[in-house]
Homo-oligomer: A and B are copies of this chain.
Amino acid sequence: MELGLIGLGKMGGNMRERIRRAGHTVIGYDRDPELSDVDSLAELVERLEGPRVVWVMVPAGAPTQSTVDELKDLLAEGDVVVDGGNSRWTDDEKHAAELAERGIGFVDAGVSGGVWGLENGYALMVGGDDEHVARVQPVFDALKPEGDFGYVHAGKVGAGHFSKMVHNGIEYAMMQAYAEGWELLEAVDSVTDVREVFRSWQEGTVIRSWLLDLAVNALDDDEHLDKLRGFAADSGEGRWTVEAAIDNAVPLPAITASLFARFASRQDDSPQMKMIAALRNQFGGHAVESRSEH
Contacts and interface: CB of A to CB of B under 8 A. Distances in A.
Interface of A is mostly: helix
Interface string A145-169: 1011111111111110011001111
B246 A242 contact: yes
Contacts of A177: 169-170, 172-174, 177, 254-255
B197 A152 contact: yes
A200 B291 contact: no
A120 to B, nearest CB: 6
Contacts of A290: 227-229
A239 B225 CA distance: 27
Interface string A232-257: 11100001011111101111111111
Contacts of A260: 251-253, 256
B292 A180 contact: no
21 contacts: A114-B206, A121-B204, A123-B204, A127-B191, A155-B191, A170-B207, A171-B207, A178-B275, A180-B254, A180-B272, A182-B272, A183-B270, A218-B275, A228-B278, A228-B290, A230-B272, A234-B249, A250-B263, A252-B260, A262-B273, A265-B270
Nearest to A222: B278
Contacts of A246: 239, 242-243, 259
Contacts of A292: 227
B245 A149 contact: no
A152 B14 CA distance: 39
A280 interface: yes
B151 A200 contact: yes
A278 B225 contact: yes
